[in-house]
Amino acid sequence: MKAEFVEAIPIIEQLNEHGHEAYFVGGSVRDLLLNRKIGDIDIATSAKPDEIQKIFPKTIDVGVQHGTVIVLHNGKPYEVTTFRTEGEYEEYRRPKYVRFVSSLQEDLKRRDFTINALAMDKNGRILDYVNGMEDLENRMIRTVGDPYERFSEDALRMLRALRFVSQLSFRLEEKTLQAITVWHKLLQNISIERITAEFEKLLAGASANDAIQLLTLTNVYQHMPGLKQKKEQLHKLLSYPMHNLCEREEYWTVLLFVLETDDGESFMRNWKLPRRVIKKVCRHLELLNCLFEKDWTAFLLYKTGLEDALQLERIRQVLQKEKNEEAIQKLQKSYEQLPIHSRKELAVTGNDILNIVPKKPGKWVEEYLTLVEQQVVNGLIENNSGKIKEWLKNCNQKLGESC
């Protein structure tokens, strides 16, 4: 058993000592069996929320009405949830009520997909009541029970199914696929924030192109901001190696570039993206055209910064349908070898320039500083106060011309 589970075993043991059943459940069990990186460890138990809070000295109430308590163990948070079944769903996204039960089997049967409805005891024994192990072996995404019922309960499950296709490189079971094709319109009842969260995970998956193809096949894309009229462009996206990207800004930049969106900022606002992400993607799009025309220059690399430069290089390679790790490493080395990495490192300041150039303060000081930065970064002047001042004194040509 992996260390992440071993660290959480004392929680299960304490629940057992007080007469309650407790098991590891959900995505962590699935990922353990697939030998994937383990995320959050979730525990399901027969103990009621108030009983959980009495057993453990450090807890956080995050959803007692739904049976969930955060237990802090060795400084780490673990979600501990009472076995439950769910009442009728409202607005295609949440149950009107939950009912606590004493049966693990009942609890697992309320879950979305068979591969997420597996449980494991503290000894590593797998409990499977829905043939989830078989679907794992066959690399299949299948709902627990009737897919039409599961998707009508919570419409976001349709997008989650496609996200798992992307992340796990699994395929959709035929009846599950048919149900998504029938019920896709229910996604209009889901908040943009929930759709965005699933879509970003989908884009970042190893098999994102397979999932994007399913987005158009099932018409799910029609209920995502700004995509309803972009079916042809989404198909173009299939030809790009999206799996070579790393950060969320990179995925959005490639998406916007391929979609040929006129107003990228408004497009991203409709997805409720953070302002910092929108700002960075807009900047990436501006710089892309420059990079397609010429290679990195020392000053462009300096002004862009290493983090953004590496992102842009990965984006450029994806859009040019190539992968050149050597170019990434070369870019990083070039940045490290720059004489300065910010204006703070420049050997002169605006006040120094005012003392040298007999002019009143104004915008020209900023322009002179930029000119000095260019000379230093391009290796034409050493970053030395005396040498820069001497160069400024001897520079008699107009601002913006070579000195």
The mean pLDDT value of the chain amounts to: 91
SS3 112: coil
Three-class SS of residue 212? helix
Amino acid 63: pLDDT: 75
Average pLDDT over residues 71-95: 79
Amino acid at 297: T
Q: What is the pLDDT of residue 400?
A: 42
Over residues 12-27, mean pLDDT: 96
- The pLDDT score that the predictor gives to residue 227 is 96
Instruction: Give the percent of the chain with pLDDT over 70.
Output: 95
Give the integer Cα–Cα distance in Å for 303 and 312: 13
The arithmetic mean of pLDDT across residues 314-337, rounded, is 94
Q: What is the pLDDT of residue 66?
A: 80
pLDDT exceeds 70 at position 323: yes
- For residue 397, the SS3 value is coil
Please state the rounded mean pLDDT for residues 43-53.
94
- In one-letter notation, the amino acid at residue 174 is E
Report pLDDT for 41: 95
**Token code pair at residue 193:** 């924030």
100 band by pLDDT with thresholds 50, 70 and 90:
confident
User: What whole-number distance in Å separates Cα of residue 388 and Cα of residue 339?
Assistant: 14
3-state class of 356 per DSSP?
helix
Could you say which DSSP state residue 1 is in? -
User: Does position 226 have pLDDT exceeding 80, yes or no?
Assistant: yes
Tell me the pLDDT band of 96, cut-offs 50, 70 and 90: low
Compute the chain's Rg from CA coordinates: 28
User: pLDDT (tens digit, 9 = 90+) per residue, 167-185?
Assistant: 999 999 999 999 999 999 9
Whether 403 shows a pLDDT value over 70: the answer reads no
Q: How does residue 210 score in pLDDT terms, banded at 50, 70 and 90?
A: very high
Using alpha carbons only, what angle is made at residue 84 by residues 152 and 201, rounded to the nearest 5 degrees? Answer: 55
Does residue 222 contact residue 228 with C-beta atoms inside 8 Å?
yes
Contact in structure between 27 and 137 (CB atoms under 8 Å): no
**DSSP assignment letter at 373:** H
Q: Which residue has the higher pLDDT, 391 or 147?
A: 147
330-388: pLDDT as tens digits: 999 999 999 999 999 999 998 888 888 778 888 888 888 999 999 999 999 999 999 98
The rounded distance, in Å, linking the Cα atoms of 395 and 403 is 5
Examine the pLDDT at 69 and tell me if it is beyond 50: yes
Greater confidence (358 vs 280) lies with: 280
Q: For the segment 288-301, what is each residue's pLDDT rounded down to a tens digit?
A: 988 888 889 999 99
pTM: 0.87
Distances, alpha carbon 61 to alpha carbons 147, 172, 355, in Å: 32, 36, 63
